[in-house]
Amino acid sequence: MYLKNMIPAMTSNTAPSGKVSATSVENTSTDGWCAFDGKANTYWSTSRGVISARIYYEFPSSQIIKKYTIKAGGEDGRLAPKTWTFEGSNDGTNWTVLDTQINQTDWASAGWGSVTTREYLISNDKRFTSYRVNVTQNNGHAYYLFIYEIEMFGVVFDKRCIIYNDSKYKIYDGANFIEAGISGTSPSESDYISKGMIDLSIIPESAWQQLQGDVELCYYSDDPSTTSTQFIVETTPFTFAEEWQDKEINVVEYTDDSQQTESSISLETESFILCDELGDNVDVLYYTDELTKTAATLEYDINYSPLDDIQNNFEVVTWTDESNNPPNLSLSALPVNQFVKQSNDFTLPGSLQAITVIKTASNNAKFLLSFDSGLTWKVYRYGKWIEVIVDDLNTIRKQAMSYKEISKLNESNFKNQGDKVRFGYYIEDRKQESLNATKIDATQLVIKSNVDNTKFQNLSFYVLNTEATIQISFNSGKILGQINDEDKGKVQYRVLLNDLPYFPNDGSFTRLAPSPVDINLNISERDMHFDKDNKLRVEFKDYWGNTDYWQTTFAGTYTGLMFMDESGEYLSDTFGGILKYLDFGMIFAGQTTLDQKVVIKNQLGYPIDNLLLEVNKEKLPEGVTIELSRTQAPFLATDYITYGLTKSLETQEFYVRIVADIEAKPVPNGIFELKINSNKATV
């Protein structure tokens, strides 16, 4: 038994399964599902001014959640949740509080922009279909609430199986059955967990044939609610008559009913002739407890002719003295068994619902069906269509479908079998049933099709399809656009980066969706080339398969608020790595260094406001001060600078210098940090 995150990596609010919703969302790139996508660089954000909200996940079926995790932080940690409850519900109206957290702080303790994942165990044994995190307070940010990731863990029970055959415990290694290495007389719990197989369906038929004799399936589960297990074994088609032929069958019945003194067992068999089973000589034993009865009379009806006793070929000799009466011989004979194939197909104008065979007298006809104009013949058994080799009449007689079997077929059984069908009839007559010869009056097909509809002849039908169009913009690593189809049909797309699948990551197209379809996707810098051009390609197609694409090349660049020196070289990357230091050389106590110019460039892809630049004083050596200024001359020293509206790709300049106190202690290779914060501008 172990805990597992029961929420898949979400790609939208409803895919691949379940449903995500939130009471507040800033935009589509920070929608609620971003907190369940399994990615470290995406997050759910409330709209501006909303600092308390609820985020929900609804499972397809009820789950018992025993633990949940929250990843939060970013910037200085004030965006993270501080106080919340974790709740469950089965109707979306009545909620049960499962966990309460108060004063959860220090989410960015590892430094500016860092995040922290915290887990919370809960005592819960009740199933709920919906769970939510109800945040009532963040860590002090005035405008937003961020959550990077949420996981919900449910109990998964261990289920293992070991094969017992030929007095040995065995497992399948992918090619053969090998001994499992069980030291005791039977597997222990640790043996099952460490050596047992999880999925028996991966074992092919050829491997099962390696096992001779009795095969036992030993099953283990630590689920306390499991009291029995069930295996579905698919075998080569057989009948009990074939397996039990010439064998004695013993049926043992147990009952705790003290009043029951006898049992009744009913056996359903194929039709048979009593004479075939009993042979030529039959002894009938009669018993009665009537004292006055001294004799018994047996009456039986049988279709018998002395000709039945004649074996092999024979001659018929006749004599007559009537010269005007020529000899005439009438002979009635039993036809040989035969398989009659229909020469033409029935064309199905709609879905086949059922087959009705109108027969008379004998039940000795059997049926095969062909859906490929007689190339192959099939029967429906064990939930699927099985091919029958029709070269041998005995095989056909054993495997063909009876009246009862063919009459039970329904629409679902004929699914994906095409729009035509052909019948094959196996006909057999027996001498004991010569008065009731096998006959089929008619075969009826029940087909769901349109009635009273208009019929056309010599009609050409053309579908006018307008190709889908795309409008795309790519800026600062963000793809924004829309796919439209004038026909209002469904469209789908995929994104390739440097000729490799990017979204979806398996290279497939997204699911068909009604147009217009919005595209809002961030290209991670981790996947870009920074030493050569990158190729970005968006392929899209409509319902009819018409494909087009949009393509561009771009130089790899970082996203975010980036620091650069006056030559335009980046000082750090998006991931917090240092690309270049501002080198002030050796600094002496009591010295003020020359100022250096630093540029801030907005590469977020959208305009920002309330930009705050400040010195991280916590990491400064004692006696050292970092001074900032908007201008070089005059240098107006301050420890923070604010800026107003900054558009995408716009830059802001400032100057920085270091002041060392006369009593400052020496610090070799000393460093300092500047941190920056901003809000997304409402334009």
Task: Give tens-digit pLDDT for 45-62.
Answer: 999 889 999 999 999 999
Out of 119-123, 485-489, 606-610, the most confident range is 119-123
Q: What is the CATH number of domain 469-555?
A: 2.60.40
pLDDT the model gives residue 432: 55
Kindly report which listed range (5-9, 322-326, 419-423, 587-591) carries the lowest average pLDDT score.
322-326
Q: What is the pTM of this model?
A: 0.40
Does CATH place domain 560-680 in 2.60.40.1180?
Answer: no
Contact 149, 71 (CB under 8 A): yes
Region(s) of the chain under CATH 2.60.120.260: 2-156
Max mean pLDDT range (25-39, 280-294, 392-406): 25-39
Residue appearing with tokens 């790899």: 556
pLDDT score, position 511 = 85
Is the distance from CB of 616 to CB of 628 less than 8 angstroms?
no
SS3 breakdown of the chain: % helix, strand, coil, rounded to 5? 10, 35, 55
CA 564 from chain centre, in angstroms, equals: 47
For 623, what's the count of Cα atoms within 13 Å in the CB-facing half-sphere?
A: 14
pLDDT of residue 302: 67
DSSP-derived secondary structure letter, 176: S
Q: Select the CATH number that applies to the domain covering 2-156 from these four: 3.40.50.720, 2.40.50.140, 3.90.1720.10, 2.60.120.260.
A: 2.60.120.260
Dist. CA 326–CA 595, nearest whole Å: 139
Q: Mean pLDDT, to the nearest integer, of 427-439?
A: 64
The CA distance from 212 to 489, in Å, is: 58
Q: What is the 3-state secondary structure (H, E, C) of 446-513?
A: EEECCCCCCCCCCCCCCCCCCCCEEEEEEECCEEEEEEECCCCCEEEEEEEECCEEEECCCCCCCCCE
Residue 229 has pLDDT above 70, yes or no: yes
- pLDDT score at 275: 65
* Mean pLDDT of the 318-325 span: 74
pLDDT digits (tens, 9 = 90+) for 120-133: 999 998 999 999 99
- Residue 201 pLDDT class (50, 70, 90 cuts): confident
Give the contacts of 290 (CB within 8 A, at least 6 positions apart).
Answer: none
Residue % of the chain over a pLDDT of 90 = 23
CA pair distance 172, 207, nearest whole angstrom: 8
Mean pLDDT (whole number) for 654-661: 89
Note the pLDDT of residue 351. Answer: 80
Triad 87, 91, 97: Cα angle to 5°: 15
Query: Is residue 666 over pLDDT 70?
Result: yes
What's the pLDDT at 136? Answer: 95
| pLDDT value of residue 276 | 64
Amino acid at position 394, single letter: N
Q: Does the pLDDT at position 433 exceed 90? A: no
